[in-house]
Structure 1
Amino acid sequence: MKKYFLFLLLCTGEYTFAQQIAPLTVEKIMRDPKWMGVAPTDFRWTADSKTLYFNWNPENKAKEELFKISATGNKPVKAAEKEDEKLLGLNYAYNADRSMGLVEKSGDIYLQNFKTGKETRLTNTLERENSPVFLNNDNIVYQAGDNLFEVNLKSAETSQITNFVKGKKPGRPEAKAATEQDKWLKAQQTELFDIIKKRNAESRSTNRGGRGRFGAANGENKPLKELYTDDRFLNSVVISPDGRFVTYKLTTPAQNNHNTVVPNYITASGYTEDIPGRAKVGENESSSQAFIYDTQRDTIYSILTSTIPGIKDLPDYLKDYPKELDTLKKKNADRPVNLFGPLWNDNGSMGVVVAASTDNKDRWILKLDATTGKLSLLDRQRDEAWIGGPGISGYYQGNTGWIDNNHFYYQSEATGYSHLYVVNVATGDKKQLTSGKWEVQTLQLSKDRSTFYLKANKEHPGITNFFKIASNGGELVQLTSMKGLSDITLSPDEKYLAINYSYLNKPGELYLQANKAGAKAVKITQSTSAEFDSYKWREPDMVTFKNRYGADVYARVYKSDNPHPNHPAVVFVHGAGYLQNVHYGWSTYFREFMFNNLLADNGYTVIDIDYTASSGYGRDHRTGIYRHMGGKDLTDQVDGVKFLVEKYGVNPKHVGLYGGSYGGFITLMAMFNESDVFTSGAALRSVTDWAHYNHGYTSNILNEPFNDPIAYKRSSPIYFADKLKGNLLMAHGMVDVNVHFQDIVRITQRFIELGKNNWELAVYPVEDHGFVEPSSWTDEYKRIFKLYENTLKK
């Protein structure tokens, strides 16, 4: 028995000694993050796949340095400065047999012959040339300024394809109907004068004469058709592989918007200076129209969106506004859409356009008939909330492309999770390649187009690994197997994987692995400092609980080895809304991870919840806050507290919460609408009124303030400020160009008018949305810790 007690004493002593070596303080964890060690970043392979370059700072220098390692090596070495510029793999545009490649470097176009190794510089101008591509005839097309130019490699002749002209086409006087007198005079002129007869004959001959795309039949230059842009911006100029069709968009900028300004008070001049800001949600948006220039017919016409299936469909939420719904039904107008593409197959026989409605309720995959501008449906994804999810977006074309001349791939949430699909564009037949209650998060087609490589969370929502599957479907093969988060950089020859791998309490490190199932991943770097390693960072419990709606909610719990007698708890609320923080990898919220460890050291139990609307869990979780932010995402926090009470013995009378940005918004909503659950809250850089946030994010979830005021009123904390009962700390950067300082000022005025006195506002004059200065981080988190110590332990 004495030996047993001696053993316990020694163990206790070792634990105490470990804590004494590296006790956590706010001052320590909020220093310049370099004290922790600097993880490797920016992995890139050389074109021959023999060497991997990356940025790293293992010696804690003023800035990171360039390192390299052989694909089969295990020890990285410093690389010579700018050594990577000549060796790194470039993003080439290839010809059909991939024997030649085109690339832009510093605004000029270069041709690389991979068989001979010879590089030829094709342009050397002050103007920037970009977007080089091969045509099917092996000629080259690139863009310079607004226009496209074609280079014949055999003759070395360069020809201009397009002639975009800024401004409006010059007006012509209206033609008057010819009177009988006019007709008589014209006939008389022709009858009397030989010169008139000659010119009429020349005009008829010219009109009948054959001309090529770039010149007249006799070799003389023909003026190119003028493609007027009016007062719009030209963008997305694309030529078909056969060289016949040029597609482009003309964009009309948003008119009459009221862009915001952010005053900057701490300036070198000593004067307050205004930072130009964004518009607010509901302001006017730019609009675009897509055109086709048929070089063969020398004619221009629009891509027709009026025949897209469902183009007139109205969203379901309008049922809450019967008068407005009736008005819109009578209008029967087409919804505006954004078009991406066309994406052409290799031989140029078919093009696909991705279309997204500007209300973001629909995304269509459409086949383009380039000779008429008509679109026909291949796939439609409708979401009464909003289109989104990995590989899917209303703001770009998403993970899409051609496998061969007939088959086109894309991702869709049709099953509730983002998965991979292939459609035969010629027949319209569709095939789903992946399935299950997990997401395809990244996607890459192999160079020979026989294989898809993808990152997915198949094993667990918080574990990512690398997989492959044949491009025509089949077995999904797992290539990596480490439990955590793995981000992969595939070598150009597709033989090696550079893996940025991290675990719950271990920041990212570089691993190398052969691109084979079952191959071993070899750790290359060790980046954490001795000081960081001296503390035993917790592996939080990875738990799930059922929320009140019966859905599984995932969470991290940081247990305290020595709970305070009050058994207090703190809820950390991650930001961004659509973001995942409950995973087996190192958190982007590394400061909060360390602060949660500090709280646990001081007797608190901490829970970090992937609440409704977090990423990684499929469509229903993603859109669960539609038209009510501060609804299910807030009740998930309350249900998480209930879970802590039942499973971890937390005292429900001593619970606080904190979070930044969206987490700050949830904190405010919790302090106002769940005051019986939360005693204290720290709301950092918080949205207080969604009508004052940006359009792209907010309109997806809440529509627009003028057409869905119900959603805004029930989602904005400023409408509930009168319900504040507990202890509230607010903190905000004064030069925040994302969530403006005005947000926190407005709710502060509400508190003053309501006579509330249990709140505090800390302002940070030099900080934007994401704080930079260690002194600001330290001040902010010392206030949070003090709030909890003074309110949750009493």
Structure 2
Amino acid sequence: MRIKYPLLTILLIWSVESIAQSTLSVEYIMRDPKWMGTFPSSARWSDDSKTLYFEYNLESDPADSLYKIRLDQPDQIQKVALSEEKSLSKSQARLNQGKNLRIYVENGRKIWLEDLSKGSASVILDWHNRLSNPNFLADESFISFVSEQNLFVLNIETGSVVRKTNISTGNQPSDDQKKSNENDKKFLVEENLKLLEVVRQRQENDQLSKNYRDATQSENKDFTYYTSGKNPSNLQLSPDARFATFTFYSSSSNKNTKVPDYVAASGYTEDLNSRPKVGTTPTQSEIGIYDLTRDTVYFVSVENLPGLKDQPDYLADYPDRKVEEKKRGVALFGPVFSADGSKAIIQARSFDNKDRWITAVDLLTGELTSLDRQRDEAWIAGPGIGWTFSGGTLGWLPDNQHIYFQSEASGYSHLYLLNVDSKEKTALTQGNYEVFDPFISNDQKSWYLTTSEVDPGERHFYKMPLMGGKMEKLTSMTGNNDVRLSPDENKLAILHSYSNRPTELFIKDNKGKAEEKQLTFGQSEEFKSYPWRDPEIIRFEARDGAMVPARIYTPDPAKKNGAAVIFVHGAGYLQNVHKWWSSYFREYMFHNLLTDLGYTVLDIDYRASAGYGRDWRTGIYRQMGGKDLSDQTDGAQHLIKNYGVDPEKIGIYGGSYGGFITLMALFTEPETFKSGAALRSVTDWAHYNHGYTSNILNNPEDDPIAYRRSSPIYFAEGLEGNLLMAHGMVDVNVHFQDVVRLSQRLIELGKDNWEMAIYPVEDHGFVEPSSWTDEYKRILKLFNTTLLDE
């Protein structure tokens, strides 16, 4: 017989002798994380490759500060002075092709040029207005930059500046308007200057300044392009200075959600602006090409993209719907120019997330020619693939003939080359693993890249010939190796962590067999005093035959209580079954506490998790709460069959996406899960954001079936077990409104076996230790009260 516990009224009467004990407590592990020690992040090198900089905290400051280690004094960690830190900041820095020269912007007006080989630097332009986006051209004695929404070119040797574009955001005036304006202004100007001496003197000074500027720049005034109120973005000049390109973005006026802040400092309830809901009109983009030789502007055309009218397969679920044949909307990114400026590519993505095209653009006409089309009936994504207005891994080889990009064409995200002339495509990497952050070496003969080839739960750094070949593994430590290569490419700085050891900084020579030297030792003695578990990674078989990866924490047999807790990570597309220190470190410590108390804990990389390729990633398409939930249920059955877990003593919890799965588990699988804690949960996907949700469930107006079978609020009548909901009231990601609506639904259904904890000062990611402590005391109370025998 199952006993239902009305958690709103229950009094916890618990004998400490009746359960196993732990040296840990919720109050202990949920303190400010500083008690654990200090751990390095954001490592970077000095230009001369002799000093390592990183974020750290040796002095118990309110936040991390910049520290450094000189390679000739590897045992000394020094806090960086503010003056030195400022000198390291290079706004909008760009390197030349040889990486021996660097330009950057100071105070929005000055361009500095550094010779990195000589260690010298000088101001090469002190501009009269704000400027941005400086870039070396193919002839590196010239630099382009943007100012006043136009492009200029600086000659480094002479200091002269040439204005290359003449763009006005106004409307083109008619001839009559021009004459009328000139006559009106002539009378006003002449009379004003006669009457007011100071104004005349200032006007004369302004004219002197203008004469100076005109002496250092020339301008083509014969042609003006009027944008009629549109603001050009992403202005860039082709490396050969023949073409300028820009992007127009037109954002739709989508309605934002208001999130009330009941504890604002003013004492009044204040509304926080938050995101719109899914189904919003996407931002439109168009790329313009400004031909500087022909003095004309035209726009990139997507009309010839193959498959532009293809409709998604899910429409078969709506046989009565009349579908009009029409071209889909497309978002554009680019152009990306070859180093010599002779060629350019543009990435196009359909608004329905089903297609990505990498295209060659004819710079004389704006016509696109597809070089590679990747279609996915679910949605296009994966490491290095990029997003709507992001190209991801995308660029040119030095030969100005091959482009490189990442694609999931094989089922895993790999690195490809494509010859833009012959259209021949070559996979540089292949296998059941994924590639991360590839980049080209200084000598342009090799790739450096990180992959999961050794194991999905490990990351290692490799070197590979530019045109493909055998990869040389350069890291050896088990876990995550987050590498920063020194500018001279002789050293690797490695931010390394393992399952039960937080991140530390290591260094090694750029050789596979070289030994790593540990530079930081950040764990506090208090943190090291507890024997943190190294959870075993297992795989269990799901009902469809898939082998599901999971971390398992097993208790001492003498303490085992037959109960189990399944943890569900957030974000959906995230990996937590791995051999490095988890971003869920609080939950990791809580799992150690639970295991001490006799619980078996399972942490699953369910369908949709990152790190396992395209099919795993898209396993939830059109049904969240489908395979991602059945993986949890199958995991519970695995515990029952193989770990001696009592089927009447299984709980589940998680935050964000994990909270959503917890709700679905309690609403639709009550025979499996007796209790659950749903934290900051999505309760109705029609109320979440567009960028994330429309990928997986399409738009609610287009595919309501997907939303109704994926949203917990439609299944609330199935609640039989014990539910705790916890949510921050100023959550601008998953809004507090989500649990408010679900609460009303539970009230109307007459459910009384649930409770809700609210946190007035917390956003989606909790900050205050008091909030973490309160939340996890409630979670522990829930499991101890409902899963263990009295």
Contact 1:229–1:250 under 8 Å retained in 2: no
After superposition, what is the alpha-carbon deviation per residue over 1:75-133, rounded to whole angstroms, capped at 9, x for unaligned? 13214413244357887434455553322233232122345543221333574322111
| SS across alignment from 2:232 | strand
Match of 2:263 in 1: 266
Match of residue 341, structure 1, among 334, 337, 342: 334
Q: CA deviation at 1:393?
A: 2.2
Q: CA deviation at 1:462?
A: 0.4
Q: Which amino acid aligns with 1:283?
A: T
Q: CA deviation at 1:337?
A: 1.2
Q: CA deviation at 1:73?
A: 5.0
Match of 1:505 in 2: 500
Stretch deviating more after TM superposition (85-94 or 477-486):
85-94
After superposition, what is the alpha-carbon deviation per residue over 1:262-297, rounded to whole angstroms, capped at 9, x for unaligned? 000001111100001110000122211111010000
Residues 1:775 and 2:775 aligned together: no
Q: CA deviation at 1:386?
A: 0.5
Q: Which amino acid aligns with 2:261?
A: N
Match of residue 124, structure 2, among 111, 122, 126: 122
Residues 1:149 and 2:152 aligned together: yes
Match of residue 370, structure 2, among 369, 372, 377: 377
Q: Which amino acid aligns with 2:317?
A: D
Match of 1:135 in 2: 137
Identical-residue share of aligned pairs (%): 52
**Alpha-carbon distance in structure 2 between the residues aligned to 1:667 and 1:97:** 54
**Alpha-carbon distance in structure 1 between the residues aligned to 2:341 and 2:296:** 19
| SS across alignment from 2:104 | strand
Residues 1:604 and 2:607 aligned together: no
Match of residue 396, structure 2, among 385, 395, 402: 402
Q: CA deviation at 1:34?
A: 0.4
Q: How does 1:163-178 map to 2 (within 5 A)?
A: 163-170=166-173
Q: CA deviation at 1:624?
A: 0.3
Q: How does 1:81-480 map to 2 (within 5 A)?
A: 81-82=81-82, 83-86=84-87, 92-107=93-108, 108-114=110-116, 116-125=118-127, 127-137=129-139, 138-170=141-173, 222-223=220-221, 225-255=223-253, 257-324=254-321, 326-329=322-325, 333-395=326-388, 396-404=390-398, 405-480=400-475
After superposition, what is the alpha-carbon deviation per residue over 1:221-263, rounded to whole angstroms, capped at 9, x for unaligned? 64153222234332121211111111111111203x2211000
Q: Which amino acid aligns with 2:365?
A: T
**Alpha-carbon distance in structure 2 between the residues aligned to 1:44 and 1:532:** 27
Q: CA deviation at 1:649?
A: 0.7
After superposition, what is the alpha-carbon deviation per residue over 1:657-715, rounded to whole angstroms, capped at 9, x for unaligned? 10000000000000000000000000000000000000000000000000000000000
Identify the structure with bigger relative contact order (alpha carbons < 8 Å, sequence gap 6+).
2
Change (3 A) 1:302 1:66: closer
**Alpha-carbon distance in structure 1 between the residues aligned to 2:524 and 2:228:** 60
**Alpha-carbon distance in structure 2 between the residues aligned to 1:764 and 1:298:** 60
**Alpha-carbon distance in structure 2 between the residues aligned to 1:51 and 1:360:** 44
Contact 2:461–2:483 under 8 Å retained in 1: yes
Change (3 A) 1:526 1:89: farther
**Alpha-carbon distance in structure 1 between the residues aligned to 2:116 and 2:228:** 43
Q: CA deviation at 1:370?
A: 0.2
After superposition, what is the alpha-carbon deviation per residue over 1:353-391, rounded to whole angstroms, capped at 9, x for unaligned? 111111111111111110111111211111110001000
| SS across alignment from 2:126 | coil
| SS across alignment from 1:123 | strand
Change (3 A) 1:563 1:695: farther
After superposition, what is the alpha-carbon deviation per residue over 1:143-180, rounded to whole angstroms, capped at 9, x for unaligned? 12311111123332212112222243346899xxxxxx
Q: Which amino acid aligns with 2:87?
A: K
Give the total of aligned pairs.
728
Q: CA deviation at 1:606?
A: 0.4
Stretch deviating more after TM superposition (552-561 or 227-236):
227-236
Match of 1:592 in 2: 587
Name stretches of at least 5 consecutive residues in structure 2 with no aligned partner.
1-19, 178-212
Match of 2:14 in 1: none
Change (3 A) 1:258 1:72: same
**Alpha-carbon distance in structure 2 between the residues aligned to 1:154 and 1:221:** 19
Contact 1:421–1:430 under 8 Å retained in 2: yes
Q: Which amino acid aligns with 2:327?
A: D
Match of 1:652 in 2: 647
After superposition, what is the alpha-carbon deviation per residue over 1:749-773, rounded to whole angstroms, capped at 9, x for unaligned? 0001111100101000000000001
| SS across alignment from 1:288 | strand
Contact 2:125–2:159 under 8 Å retained in 1: no
Residues 1:724 and 2:719 aligned together: yes
Contact 2:164–2:219 under 8 Å retained in 1: no
Q: CA deviation at 1:718?
A: 0.4
Q: CA deviation at 1:473?
A: 0.6
Change (3 A) 1:532 1:98: closer
| SS across alignment from 1:459 | coil
Normalized against structure 1, the TM-score is what? Answer: 0.89
Q: Which amino acid aligns with 1:785?
A: L
Stretch deviating more after TM superposition (401-410 or 95-104):
95-104
| SS across alignment from 1:130 | strand
Change (3 A) 1:271 1:547: same
Contact 1:290–1:303 under 8 Å retained in 2: yes
**Alpha-carbon distance in structure 2 between the residues aligned to 1:222 and 1:389:** 45
Change (3 A) 1:665 1:233: farther
**Alpha-carbon distance in structure 2 between the residues aligned to 1:406 and 1:225:** 34
**Alpha-carbon distance in structure 2 between the residues aligned to 1:476 and 1:660:** 39
Q: Which amino acid aligns with 2:395?
A: G
Contact 1:357–1:394 under 8 Å retained in 2: no
**Alpha-carbon distance in structure 2 between the residues aligned to 1:47 and 1:323:** 64
Stretch deviating more after TM superposition (357-366 or 567-576):
357-366
Residues 1:737 and 2:732 aligned together: yes
**Alpha-carbon distance in structure 1 between the residues aligned to 2:506 and 2:456:** 22
Change (3 A) 1:99 1:77: closer
Contact 1:162–1:224 under 8 Å retained in 2: no
Match of 1:6 in 2: none
Match of 1:195 in 2: none
Q: Which amino acid aligns with 1:102?
A: I
Residues 1:38 and 2:34 aligned together: no
| SS across alignment from 2:744 | helix
**Alpha-carbon distance in structure 1 between the residues aligned to 2:495 and 2:335:** 34
Q: Which amino acid aligns with 1:393?
A: G
Match of 2:192 in 1: none
Match of 1:688 in 2: 683
Match of 2:187 in 1: none
| SS across alignment from 2:651 | strand
Change (3 A) 1:126 1:739: farther
Match of 1:56 in 2: 56
**Alpha-carbon distance in structure 2 between the residues aligned to 1:319 and 1:232:** 40
Contact 1:506–1:586 under 8 Å retained in 2: yes
Q: How does 1:531-610 map to 2 (within 5 A)?
A: 531-562=526-557, 566-610=561-605
| SS across alignment from 2:358 | strand
* Structure showing greater Rg: 1
After superposition, what is the alpha-carbon deviation per residue over 1:597-640, rounded to whole angstroms, capped at 9, x for unaligned? 11111111000000000000000000000000000000000011
**Alpha-carbon distance in structure 2 between the residues aligned to 1:664 and 1:387:** 25
Contact 1:47–1:89 under 8 Å retained in 2: no
Change (3 A) 1:89 1:283: closer
**Alpha-carbon distance in structure 2 between the residues aligned to 1:508 and 1:269:** 40
**Alpha-carbon distance in structure 1 between the residues aligned to 2:651 and 2:96:** 61
| SS across alignment from 2:415 | strand
Change (3 A) 1:542 1:260: same
| SS across alignment from 1:594 | helix
